[in-house]
Structure 1
Amino acid sequence: MTDLSAMTAAELVAGYRTGAFTPLDATRAVLDTIEERDPAVNAFVRVDPDGALEQATASTERWRAGRPLGSADGVPTSVKDILWTAGLPTIRGTWLIDEAGPWPEDAPAVARLREAGAVITGKTTTPEFAWKGVTDSLRHGSTGNPWDPALTSGGSSGGAAAAVGLGMGPWALGTDGGGSVRIPASFTGTVTIKPTYGLVPLYPASPFGTLSHAGPMTRTVTDAAALLDVIAGFDSRDWSALPTPRTSFLTGLDDGVEGLRIGFSPTLGYVKNDPEVERLVRAAVVVLEAEGAQVDEVDPGFTDPVEAFDVLWFCGAAKVLDAYPAGAIDRIDPLLREGIETKGRGSAADYLDATAVRMDLGRLMGRFHETYDLLITPTMPITAFERGRQTPEGWPSPWWPSWTPYTYPFNMTQQPAASVPCGTTDAGLPVGLQIVGARHDDARVLRAARAYERASGEPFVRPVDNPRGAR
């Protein structure tokens, strides 16, 4: 039998439909792959083989009876250990949470997975409370990169990206408050989209407020669109949830980019890229031009909003600790504590000033999209660096936003932003292409990502198939 752990979700469902194999076969293959490959990268905090096999057995019976719940039925899927998952502890990378539970309730995206018949295999790693752009925590250790376990997978959805990259399930759920699905997608050569805020409901509400999104992490754009179909939709527990989409994100996915107006900003006007990153991203833009897009090299016209983002972010981080007894701050990641104490204790006026910067940025990008359908940038200015570090060696700042300048602005504006692999450096490390759309234009973002994926002629190669990959 073909290695089922190497298959995309679309390929698995096609096999279920024909009877070539079953969800039970696929789930066993994924669980075997987790057992074999996870020790090298530490992507999972908890695997649930008994629960996964029980779900897969039920799915197999539905397919055999000709009554599957839909195109997600039987697809092995992991969940970032930030999202509530009934029956499994949600530890959020911290010693402050007791895993004893009970754990009776699913987050909205997890509930949608269950309703669709997906097989939940386990929970993936996150830094403490998903606060930073690499994945390590005092409780669960660090997560490595599928292409080289000695390097970081990025974060905060680093476990999800590593799992997808190594064939430990074709689908994973991640969250993104400042780049947390896009950073690891870029570092691991995987695909993601941070959807428009509210398209995928969140409950409980994130302490980082309206910066936080949930989104799919996959190996192909088609799989990302299919997973977004499952998890998008209204949930009354989220006061800001958008209405359920009436059209599938797979509809028109292969329509291409001919005639689209694209603004390409290689630096946003203030970022310095690794030369190989810039070379690969420029080459990707040429591919989109050849597909018929009208591309102008243009900056959107804002300066780095990092100071405002820091106020919003670390005020949220400070709020996290309000739920815990006195002294909790002494038990958390030391750098998180420093960020809270130095950046998260501002006044209400400071917070309102940061919100005003955010509103101005959103207005500017709204006007930008009156001219341009999409904005393209690098996802990251650098490639993956040493595992266990907070920043690249010799970096001038200890704070993660200093090396993720392309991601957090679009959490502030709540726009959809995808990352799709656009090649590897001479050292064999992936680079990501970020595609940003106007709010509510998620389908167009996915369409452009798919157009590049199809035209680039570079189908996804699992990192494990690379000589440097984790084995």
Structure 2
Amino acid sequence: MGLFKAGSMVYKPVKEVDLSRESSEFYLHANVKAPRMAGILVKIFAWFLESRIFGTFLLYILKGNNLIHKLIRDAELEEPPVYNPLHPFEDLKEQDVTCIGSDLTPSEQVKLAVDCLPVSSGKTLNGSDLHFRRWTISDYSRAYSCGEITPLVVAERFLAAVGESSKPPLQMSFFINYDAEDILRQATASTHRYKQGLPISVLDGVPIAIKDEIDCKPYPTTGGTKWLHKRRPCTDDAHCVERLRLCGAILVGKTNMHELGAGTSGINPHYGATRNPYDPSRISGGSSSGSAAAVAAGLCPVALGVDGGGSVRIPASLCGVVGLKPTFGRLPHTGVLPLNWTVGMVGILAGSIEDAFIVYAAMNGELQLHPSPTLPKICFPLLNKTTPINIKLAKSVEWFNDCSDDIRTCCNNALDKLYKRHGWKTVEVTIPEIEAMRLAHYLTIGSECSTSLSSHLQKMNFAELGWDARVALAVYGAFSGKEYIKAQQIRNRQMQFHKNIFSQADVIVTPTTGVTAYSILNDALKTGELDYVNGAALVRYSIAGNFLGLPAVTVPVGYDKTGLPIGLQFIGRPWSEATLIHIAFAMQALCISVYKKPEVFYDLLQKNEVHQEICEAKELNGTRPTSGLNV
């Protein structure tokens, strides 16, 4: 890592750092020094931070105690800063993929994606087999095409379920906003298309929820606040939402989130704590809390989130669903709140990797502003191929093991399954300076959030903010230009380290979080909470995906001793989404038999055996409702 000199770090030049397993580079555990605070304590702390007399002094001490001075501000580095992790496109020659044209419509891309999937028999259904799985996009499409149910009936069941889950005793707080009239209007139009035999795509009539950080008409975009939508009105759909609407998806409302994305618990003092469907006394994770919990609870097979610091992958892991974060710049970011410009990306939360793939296909489009002379290709994985691909996994052992015993055991067992089934070998490597990268990312996302909101904050009444968000913004606003530039030098170093590791392996494998979902305490419900120790454990493995612009996916692989979900994460080379989906598909297939039904779950299709036999008979006669377009 380097040498300490007069209280600061002197980093070795990148070329002198050994990344092998035998490296002398030491793993520095997260040095978080902050007690948990909520209720009156977080109010007092916020008042002190906002005080002109005490605030500056207190913030200086906090940054010093948490090694920001030593590892970032006063550090000596020779690498120049890199301010934007936009990678040049390289042809990765991925295995078993098909590359598609850039001039296709969203529905055409969805059709090609569905054609890459294996044909499902539809026999493994909720309550009718030995294990649990959620209804998929293909299940919805098949049920609609067979006439078993209509999108309108599903929409009515959805509205009833959201209403029930919002009230005592559950109070799950999945959504900030949903419009029954708009949802029923979309569902009626979709039902009419199916009756005519003209669904737009396999997504037609499928309920999809949108994180309240993404523009989606007719809803305001609050960012989890009570004020931001008043200063930044939503005038149109975000690009990703527009493409889903063009595929016929029913957009069912705006999901709850941690206020301003400034936390990992999903506890929002304005709209309620989003509760974990596996145990409503536990957090769902953040900041895309409502999106993950809504998918886990069966309210929709897919939801959109935004991932700036693990904000898709963390709640996906805690809620037992799939979370996919694409390469930085892969999907257009138009219509997303500009809270963090160089670390945030639209991501996908889904009940299965197949559904994440279909929605990823729908949202992909030509990136006209990409500076690379060679535009990134859009490649889809051929999941219907029977010959397995060959993958090499990189594992940083000390980092991998820096988690709870249950997570470590579960994730190592998952890797053993991959090796026994596919022969995929693991290469042990060292990823240096991980704690410095975490702090550099925190500096970056905090500085960008503070800057993006600066004009609004000057005019607002701070009483409109939650107390935990007030603390976060006070800390964010204390970062200096010198600290920000040093953080970007750390970014340069880490991009070079990871490029070296990807010359040895296809992906880096880690647990998704260091802990499973922890308890929601009553004192946090009205003020939010500050729990930086648990927060650091939750983000421990997420930072590289955001800070370095790398694609990553988390897959549920088991449960801890109390029945809470555990996720395994794969971090890929830039632009290697197809390979990540291949790997996640293989991992899912090996773990699906242990998937458990959440404590809070809604079955919107309520299939029965008679209707299932009708659907299977139609498929045997050559009708495949899941194949996409029928126009």
Structure 2 vs 1, CA of residues 339 and 288 (structure 1 numbering), >3 Å: closer, same or farther? same
Q: Which amino acid aligns with 1:27?
A: A
192-201 or 36-45, larger mean C-alpha shift:
36-45
Conserved 8 A contact 2:173-2:256: yes
Which residue of the partner structure matches residue 271 of structure 2?
140
1:45 to 166, 173, 176: 176
Q: Distance in 2 between matches of 1:254 and 1:186?
A: 28
Q: Which amino acid aligns with 1:208?
A: N
State yes or no: 1:410 paired with 2:545.
yes
What displacement does 1:234 show? 3.1
Q: Which amino acid aligns with 2:180?
A: P
State yes or no: 1:268 paired with 2:406.
no
State yes or no: 1:60 paired with 2:160.
no
Q: Distance in 1 between matches of 2:420 and 2:342?
A: 37
Which residue of the partner structure matches residue 71 of structure 1?
202
Q: Distance in 1 between matches of 2:364 and 2:520?
A: 33
- Give identity over the alignment, percent: 27
What displacement does 1:329 show? 7.2
Q: Distance in 1 between matches of 2:230 and 2:277?
A: 28
Q: Distance in 2 between matches of 1:191 and 1:427?
A: 20
Which residue of the partner structure matches residue 26 of structure 1?
154
What displacement does 1:24 show? 1.8
Alignment of 1:10-409 (within 5 A): 10-39=138-167, 40=170, 41-98=172-229, 103-204=234-335, 206-234=338-366, 246-249=378-381, 251-252=382-383, 258-268=389-399, 272-304=402-434, 305-324=437-456, 326=458, 328=460, 330-331=462-463, 332-388=465-521, 397=532, 400-409=535-544
Partner SS for 1:371: coil
What displacement does 1:168 show? 1.0
Conserved 8 A contact 2:262-2:469: yes
Conserved 8 A contact 1:196-1:440: yes
Structure 2 vs 1, CA of residues 265 and 28 (structure 1 numbering), >3 Å: closer, same or farther? farther
Conserved 8 A contact 2:151-2:206: yes
Partner SS for 1:370: coil
Consecutive unaligned residues in structure 1, runs of 5 or more: 467-471
Q: Distance in 2 between matches of 1:297 and 1:194?
A: 24
Conserved 8 A contact 1:132-1:155: yes
Conserved 8 A contact 1:80-1:175: yes
What displacement does 1:244 show? 8.0
Q: Which amino acid aligns with 2:492?
A: M
Q: Which amino acid aligns with 1:362?
A: M
Conserved 8 A contact 1:176-1:213: yes
What displacement does 1:161 show? 0.7
Conserved 8 A contact 2:279-2:599: no
Conserved 8 A contact 2:323-2:347: yes
Partner SS for 2:298: coil
What displacement does 1:458 show? 2.1
For residues 99-136 of structure 1, the C-alpha deviation after alignment (integer angstroms, 9 at most, x for no partner) is: 69863201111111111110011110011111211112
Q: Which amino acid aligns with 1:60?
A: T
Q: Distance in 2 between matches of 1:293 and 1:395?
A: 44
What displacement does 1:179 show? 0.3
Higher relative contact order (CA 8 A, sep 6+): 2
Partner SS for 2:228: coil
Partner SS for 2:508: strand
Conserved 8 A contact 2:221-2:233: no
Consecutive unaligned residues in structure 2, runs of 5 or more: 1-124, 128-132, 602-631
Partner SS for 1:435: strand
Conserved 8 A contact 1:80-1:159: yes
Q: Distance in 2 between matches of 1:243 and 1:85?
A: 28
Structure 2 vs 1, CA of residues 215 and 407 (structure 1 numbering), >3 Å: closer, same or farther? same
Partner SS for 2:422: coil
Structure 2 vs 1, CA of residues 275 and 402 (structure 1 numbering), >3 Å: closer, same or farther? closer
Conserved 8 A contact 2:291-2:305: yes
98-107 or 113-122, larger mean C-alpha shift:
98-107
Structure 2 vs 1, CA of residues 3 and 67 (structure 1 numbering), >3 Å: closer, same or farther? same
Structure 2 vs 1, CA of residues 308 and 180 (structure 1 numbering), >3 Å: closer, same or farther? same
Q: Distance in 2 between matches of 1:377 and 1:246?
A: 26
Structure 2 vs 1, CA of residues 363 and 257 (structure 1 numbering), >3 Å: closer, same or farther? farther
135-144 or 316-325, larger mean C-alpha shift:
316-325
Q: Distance in 2 between matches of 1:410 and 1:140?
A: 29
Structure 2 vs 1, CA of residues 358 and 254 (structure 1 numbering), >3 Å: closer, same or farther? farther
Structure 2 vs 1, CA of residues 367 and 238 (structure 1 numbering), >3 Å: closer, same or farther? closer
Alignment of 1:443-454 (within 5 A): 443-454=578-589
Calculate the TM-score normalised by the size of structure 1.
Answer: 0.89
What displacement does 1:253 show? 6.2
Partner SS for 2:485: helix
Q: Which amino acid aligns with 2:489?
A: A
What displacement does 1:436 show? 1.1
Q: Distance in 1 between matches of 2:384 and 2:488?
A: 35
For residues 62-87 of structure 1, the C-alpha deviation after alignment (integer angstroms, 9 at most, x for no partner) is: 22222221121111011000101121
Which residue of the partner structure matches residue 122 of structure 2?
none
Aligned residues: 459
Q: Which amino acid aligns with 2:415?
A: V
Conserved 8 A contact 2:330-2:367: no
Q: Distance in 1 between matches of 2:149 and 2:176?
A: 29
Structure 2 vs 1, CA of residues 33 and 395 (structure 1 numbering), >3 Å: closer, same or farther? closer
Which residue of the partner structure matches residue 56 of structure 2?
none
Conserved 8 A contact 1:220-1:460: no
Which residue of the partner structure matches residue 469 of structure 1?
none
Partner SS for 2:237: coil
Calculate the TM-score normalised by the size of structure 2.
Answer: 0.68
Conserved 8 A contact 1:422-1:432: yes
Structure 2 vs 1, CA of residues 107 and 396 (structure 1 numbering), >3 Å: closer, same or farther? closer
Conserved 8 A contact 2:403-2:514: yes
Q: Distance in 1 between matches of 2:556 and 2:544?
A: 20
Partner SS for 2:503: helix
Q: Distance in 2 between matches of 1:132 and 1:339?
A: 8
